[in-house]
């Protein structure tokens, strides 16, 4: 009997320690479309520091194009998996601030928390990491003191405040607010599929510094075509279903595998099929964009 009791106690302690680690690692990562030209980001960090000066505050980016919910969704997908369980992300790209859109905290299946408006920002993380639980922020409790008259800066008054309190352990995840169904507002897009030898996908984002085109076609899916370096990729890019570009590019391991200015296909740092011009901007040269309305089709010809 004693051994059984000790075993049960051990399990309970393990669960408690796991929960503690998930909700109180004191890390907050901020993302917004605010830019750094004014004091908005500083105000959010000031609120967080006021909750607890022991918090570790980091930036994902504040250069999301204004109102671009899709890019906010992608940057979360790109970044969240690399942070430890218990990290709290505060993502504020909120063109509907003050409207009836819900303010939520999503806990991923890998243990990170995302504090954000439920406006499409969670589209990709929910699909890739899964939803362990999602709660609506109870603003009667989780709102900065004396901010009830402010309707246009929930990033400071609700999200930074709630995220900081969660990260600091001032509140538990359960104290955020009521549980919601495991479903988020999702932006429709072309998911990556292989149909009859043709890969179809979405242009998730541009590697903005260099103008490379990143798709959501994973290496795992691409490898079903059994590609070899030097094989020719026939690629077509579409915007709202209209063809914008069609051309060929060799599948390459490095940019230097082709002459300067020539196209290539490659696997990017996220192991997704991408396209580039060696030392040139594919996006600028061929007027390619990214987002939910951009799609791609790829077929492959094996070299002889």
Q: Mean pLDDT over residues 40-50, rounded?
A: 95
Tokens 């906010």 belong to 72
Among 201, 272, 264, 190, smallest CA distance to 233 is for 264
Q: What structural domains does the chain harbor?
A: 2-180 (3.40.50.10790), 193-301 (2.40.30.90)
pLDDT in tens, 263-272: 999 999 999 9
Indicate the pairing of strand 27-32 with strand 88-92: parallel
* Contacting residues for 223 by C-beta, under 8 A, at least 6 apart: none
pLDDT in tens, 132-176: 999 999 988 887 777 566 665 777 889 999 999 999 999 999 999
pLDDT for 101 equals: 87
How distant, in Å, are the alpha carbons of 100, 106, 107, 172 from that of 183?
Answer: 17, 10, 12, 21
Split at pLDDT 50, 70, 90, the class of 200 is very high
Among 93, 74, 112, 96, smallest CA distance to 33 is for 93
Average pLDDT, the chain: 91
Split at pLDDT 50, 70, 90, the class of 12 is very low
Give the C-alpha separation, 67 to 119, whole Å: 11
The region of weakest confidence among 67-71, 99-103, 243-247, 264-268 is 99-103
pLDDT for 27 equals: 97
pLDDT for 82 equals: 96
Q: Which residue has the higher pLDDT, 212 or 156?
A: 212
Q: CB-side exposure of 273: number of CA atoms within 13 Å?
A: 31
Among 244, 173, 205, smallest CA distance to 76 is for 205
Q: Between 161-168 and 40-51, two packed helices, what is the crossing angle to 10 degrees?
A: 30
Query: In 10 A of CB 225, how many CB atoms?
Result: 18
Split at pLDDT 50, 70, 90, the class of 108 is very high
Inform me whether the pLDDT recorded for 286 exceeds 80. yes
pTM, to two decimals: 0.86
The region of weakest confidence among 5-9, 48-52, 246-250, 283-287 is 5-9
Inform me whether the pLDDT recorded for 184 exceeds 90. yes
């Amino acid at each position: 009997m004693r051994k059984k009791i000790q075993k049960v106690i051990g399990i309970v302690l393990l669960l408690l320690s796991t929960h503690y680690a998930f909700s109180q690692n004191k890390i907050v990562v901020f993302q917004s479309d605010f830019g750094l030209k004014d004091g908005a980001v500083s105000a959010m960090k000031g609120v967080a520091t006021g909750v607890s000066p022991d918090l570790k505050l980091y930036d994902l980016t504040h250069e999301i194009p204004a109102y671009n919910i899709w890019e906010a969704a992608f940057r979360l997908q790109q970044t969240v998996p690399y942070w430890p369980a218990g990290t709290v992300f505060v993502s504020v790209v909120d063109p509907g601030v003050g409207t009836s859109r819900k303010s939520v905290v999503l806990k991923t299946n890998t243990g990170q928390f995302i504090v954000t408006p439920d406006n499409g920002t969670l589209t990709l993380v929910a699909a890739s990491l899964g939803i362990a639980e999602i709660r609506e922020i109870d603003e009667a409790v989780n709102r900065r003191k004396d901010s009830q008259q402010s309707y246009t800066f929930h990033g400071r008054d609700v999200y930074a405040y709630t995220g900081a309190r969660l990260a600091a352990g001032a509140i538990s995840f359960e104290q955020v607010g009521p549980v919601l169904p495991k479903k988020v507002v999702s932006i429709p897009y072309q998911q990556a599929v292989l149909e009859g030898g043709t890969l179809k996908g979405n242009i998730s984002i541009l590697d903005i510094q260099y103008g490379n085109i990143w798709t959501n076609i994973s290496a795992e899916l691409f490898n079903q075509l059994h590609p070899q370096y030097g094989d020719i990729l026939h690629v077509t890019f579409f915007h709202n279903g209209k063809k914008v570009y069609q051309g060929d590019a060799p599948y390459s391991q490095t940019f230097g595998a082709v002459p300067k200015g020539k196209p290539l296909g490659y696997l990017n740092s996220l192991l997704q099929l991408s396209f580039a011009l060696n030392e040139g901007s594919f996006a600028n040269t061929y007027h390619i964009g990214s987002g939910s309305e951009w799609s791609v089709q790829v077929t492959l010809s094996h070299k002889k």
